[in-house]
């Protein structure tokens, strides 16, 4: 995909990419330009180089056994199926004893760094998506935020751009906020991307617009500006049901069958995201949908959210049972002290959100928080996973074991793009993702 770079980060290495594996499990090379080189050093600044590694088909399906996070076991990420599973199994079957316990995926907010621009943030998102695809991450999800210093305000557009700029990794929204749009707009947007990049799209739904906010607050103004005038958000369960019906081609309104084009029959996976043991978890469970628990947003209620989802689960299109993804804020560097330096801006950034001012440009060297400010962000800072590869991986395994997660969703915030990319690569290598095994 060629997009104007405006003199900033390049969007792709020369020659482009080649599909060498399914949904982020295995991407060992890129091809093009007639040149062959080894993959470069850690970090985004080293361009991925060009050589072809032939893939092989195999058979079998590897699943996570009882006991969350059991060493040496893994479960095929939700959405990987059919020929994708056969192609993935070659990598898994040759490394059963050293396979990572869980798949890793990425949540990207497209943060705007202090002194940078939204355009640069979006180009960095595209660059990061290509890198993590190569390193073996399973999916790449983008968030939805408005009136904040994050460029991820239009996830359906960004999903299409990232799908166009990558080859195999699943791409999705985490989450589209119910109340900001209609079910048909969600399905047609996802169906459009799926029509061009079939079998790679995830649609995550969240109920942020249903929150109770203080009248006259900045949050109330934000909600009013992003909602239909005079309209109340539809019941979350009804919204999810309408999206499902539109995707399956069974939607009816006032006695008429209405077919989304594109959208009906799209090979799209529907998810629900939630932060507590409330309606989102229940709706996901009762409909047999996969569930993403937002530990990075609400770490104290994640266990309740997962428990409520599992308790409510009723099989539907997921005969294998519940599927849980748990998100976490993670910063990895060569050692613990270096990682703490990179994460120094996190507390100030989170404070802007929790204080109601929205996310501010991410600072490299923020002013220290006052005692009162530090108290506001204490839980979020304490649950951010920061450290060397070994430190971060150990804490992620503890989180996975405690929650019974089937997959972990990693979001990383740093001021510099090279540091953010290096964090993901160091973690992938420590975790043992197949693409980075020695």
Distance CA 110, CA 182 (A): 24
Q: What is the pLDDT of residue 101?
A: 60
Residue reference for tokens 């309740």: 304
Q: What is the pLDDT of residue 180?
A: 82
* Phi then psi dihedrals of residue 158, to 5 deg: -65, -35
Residue reference for tokens 């061009």: 196
Q: What is the pLDDT of residue 95?
A: 41
158-183 b/e with 16+ CB inside 10 Å = b? bbbbbbbbbbbbbbbbbbbbbbbbbb
User: Within 10 Å of residue 225's Cβ, how many Cβ atoms?
Assistant: 9
Report the candidate in 95, 134, 126, 99 with the shortest Cα–Cα distance to residue 110. 126
Q: What is the pLDDT of residue 211?
A: 62
Residue spans per domain, the chain: 1-53+63-177+323-438
Distance CA 165, CA 2 (A): 8
Half-sphere exposure of 323 (CA within 13 A, CB side): 26
CATH class of residue range 1-53+63-177+323-438: alpha beta
Report the candidate in 108, 79, 324, 31 with the shortest Cα–Cα distance to residue 197. 79
Q: What is the pLDDT of residue 212?
A: 63
Identify whether the C-beta of residue 64 lies closer than 8 Å to the C-beta of residue 75.
yes
Half-sphere exposure of 20 (CA within 13 A, CB side): 22
Does the pTM surpass 0.85? The reply is: no
Distance CA 18, CA 395 (A): 34
3-state secondary structure of 400: helix
- Binned average pLDDT, 10 residues per bin, the chain of 438 residues: 38 35 32 31 39 31 32 52 43 45 93 96 98 97 88 94 98 90 96 98 84 73 74 89 97 97 97 94 96 95 97 82 96 98 96 90 94 96 97 97 97 97 98 85
Q: Which contiguous run of DSSP H or E holds residue 29?
A: none
Q: What is the pLDDT of residue 98?
A: 52
What is the distance of C-alpha 308 from the center of its chain? Answer: 22
What is the distance of C-alpha 264 from the center of its chain? Answer: 24
Identify whether the C-beta of residue 153 lies closer than 8 Å to the C-beta of residue 144.
yes
Q: What is the pLDDT of residue 222?
A: 73
Q: What is the pLDDT of residue 230?
A: 72
- Cα–Cα separations (whole angstroms), residue 420 to 107, 240, 250, 437: 12, 34, 43, 20
Identify whether the C-beta of residue 111 lies closer than 8 Å to the C-beta of residue 415.
no
Q: Report CA dihedral (377, 383, 388, 391) to the nearest 10 degrees.
A: 150
Distance CA 347, CA 399 (A): 21
Q: Is the dihedral of CA 116, 122, 127, 128 positive or negative?
A: positive
- Cα–Cα separations (whole angstroms), residue 271 to 35, 287, 293, 351: 41, 10, 11, 29
Beta strands in 163-311 (DSSP E): 170-177, 201-206, 252-253, 256-257, 268-274, 291-293
Region of 125 (left: φ > 0; alpha: ψ -120 to 50; beta: rest) is alpha
Q: Which contiguous run of DSSP H or E holds residue 35?
A: none
């Amino acid at each position: 995909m060629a997009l104007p770079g405006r003199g900033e980060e390049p969007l792709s290495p020369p020659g482009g990419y080649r599909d060498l594996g399914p949904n982020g499990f295995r991407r060992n090379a890129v091809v093009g330009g007639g040149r062959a080189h080894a993959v470069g050093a850690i970090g985004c600044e080293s361009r991925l180089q060009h050589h072809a590694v032939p893939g092989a088909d195999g058979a079998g399906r590897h699943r996570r056994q009882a006991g969350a996070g059991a060493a040496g076991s893994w479960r095929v990420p939700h959405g990987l199926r059919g020929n994708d599973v056969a192609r993935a199994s070659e990598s898994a079957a040759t490394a059963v004893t050293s396979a990572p316990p869980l798949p890793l995926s990425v949540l990207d907010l497209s943060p705007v760094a202090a002194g940078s621009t939204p355009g640069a943030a979006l180009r960095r998102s595209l660059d990061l998506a290509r890198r993590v695809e190569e390193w073996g991450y399973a999916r790449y999800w983008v968030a939805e935020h408005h009136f904040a210093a994050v460029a991820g305000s239009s996830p359906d557009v960004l999903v299409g751009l990232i799908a166009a700029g990558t080859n195999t990794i699943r791409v999705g929204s985490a989450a589209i906020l119910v109340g900001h749009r209609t079910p048909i707009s969600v399905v047609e947007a996802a169906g459009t991307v799926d029509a061009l990049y079939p079998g790679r799209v995830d649609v995550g739904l969240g109920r942020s617009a249903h929150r109770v906010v203080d009248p006259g607050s900045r949050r109330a103004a934000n909600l009013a500006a992003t909602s239909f005038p005079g309209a109340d958000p539809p019941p979350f369960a009804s919204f999810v049901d309408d999206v499902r019906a539109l995707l399956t081609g069974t939607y009816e309104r006032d006695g008429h069958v209405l077919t989304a084009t594109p959208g009906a029959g799209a090979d799209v996976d529907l998810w629900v995201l939630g932060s507590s043991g409330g309606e989102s978890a229940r709706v996901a469970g009762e409909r047999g949908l996969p569930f993403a628990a937002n530990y990075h947003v609400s770490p104290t209620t994640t266990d309740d959210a997962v428990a409520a989802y599992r308790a409510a689960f009723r099989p539907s299109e997921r005969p294998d049972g519940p599927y849980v993804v748990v998100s976490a804020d993670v910063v990895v560097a060569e050692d613990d002290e270096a990682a703490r330096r990179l994460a120094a801006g996190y507390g100030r950034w989170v404070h802007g959100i929790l204080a109601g001012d929205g996310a501010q440009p991410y600072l490299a060297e923020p002013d220290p928080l006052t005692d009162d400010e530090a108290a506001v962000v204490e839980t979020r800072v304490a649950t951010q996973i920061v450290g060397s590869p070994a430190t971060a991986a150990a804490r992620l395994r503890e989180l996975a074991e405690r929650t019974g997660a089937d997959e972990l969703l990693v979001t990383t915030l740093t001021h510099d793009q090279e540091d953010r990319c290096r964090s993901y690569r160091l973690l992938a290598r420590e975790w043992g993702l197949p693409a980075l095994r020695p």
